[in-house]
Amino acid sequence: EATDVEGQAIQVLANIRALLSAQGLSMAQVVKATVFLTSMADFPKVNPLYEAAFEGHKPARSTVAVAGLPLGALIEIEVTVELL
């Protein structure tokens, strides 16, 4: 269980990929992502990991600073997909 934002970002992106894959979907079908960070200072650490996970696909994105996340998480990502 990662305690740093980079490790948590890698895990949450892997979780998203796995959930999409289980439904026969891919990251290319994500049309919108909302990234919640407990510190905007972490944005430069997370951004390259986020970009790599989407492999050139650039869905609309919002990044929001929040006071806290469940279970002490540093990052949460919500996605909306387009079903073809």
Edge-to-edge strand list for the sheet holding 75-81:
60-65, 30-37, 75-81
Instruction: Give the whole-angstrom CA distance, residue 44 versus residue 33.
Output: 17
Instruction: Give the whole-angstrom CA distance, residue 24 versus residue 21.
Output: 5
DSSP per-residue letters across 58-70? --EEEEEE-S--G
pLDDT confidence of residue 1: 82
Global pTM value:
0.95
Q: What is the pLDDT of residues 18-48, one digit of tens each?
A: 999 999 999 999 999 999 999 999 999 999 9
